[in-house]
Amino acid sequence: MAQTLLSQTSPELSGTPLLEVHDLGVSFNGLSAVNGLSLSLMPGEVRVLIGANGAGKTTTMDLISGKTKATNGTIRFKGRDITNWTPNQIARAGIGRKFQIPSVFKDLTVAENMQVALCFNPSVFGNLRQCLRRKDRAQIHEILSRVGLEAMSDRPARLLSHGQTQWLEIGMVLAQNPDLVLLDEPTAGMTVQETRKTADIINALRGQHTILVVEHDMTFVRDICHVITVMHQGKKLAEGTVDEIETNPAVLEAYLGG
Ligand SMILES: Nc1ncnc2c1ncn2[C@@H]1O[C@H](COP(=O)(O)OP(=O)(O)O)[C@@H](O)[C@H]1O
Ligand SMILES: [Mg+2]
Tell me which residues have their CB within 5 A of the ion that is ligand 2: 57-58
Answer whether 0.85 is exceeded by the pTM.
yes
Domain residue spans in the chain?
1-6+26-96+178-258, 100-175
**CA dist 205 to 178, 211, 234, 251, Å?**
12, 9, 29, 29
The answer, yes or no, to whether any atom of ligand 1 lies below 6 A from the CB of 54, is yes
Q: Give 94-140 pLDDT, tens digit per residue.
A: 999 976 555 799 999 999 999 888 877 655 555 555 565 565 788 89
Measured from the CB, is residue 28 less than 6 Å from ligand 1?
yes
Q: State if residue 33 touches ligand 1 by the CB under 6 angstroms criterion.
A: yes
Cα 174-178-181 angle, rounded to 5 deg: 80
Burial level of 243, CB count in 10 A (0-12/13-18/19+)?
exposed
Ligand nearest to the CA of 62: 1
- The contacts of residue 31 (CB under 8 Å, 6+ apart) are none
CATH class given for the domain over 1-6+26-96+178-258:
alpha beta
The residue-averaged pLDDT of 220-238 equals: 96
Q: Whose CA is nearest to atom 2 of ligand 1?
A: 28
Q: pLDDT for 46-98, tens place per residue?
A: 999 999 999 999 999 999 999 999 999 999 999 999 999 999 999 999 999 97
| pLDDT score recorded for residue 12 | 45
Nearest to 12 by CA among 241, 222, 247: 241
The Cα-based distances of 57 to 47, 160, 174, 242 in angstroms read 13, 28, 22, 18
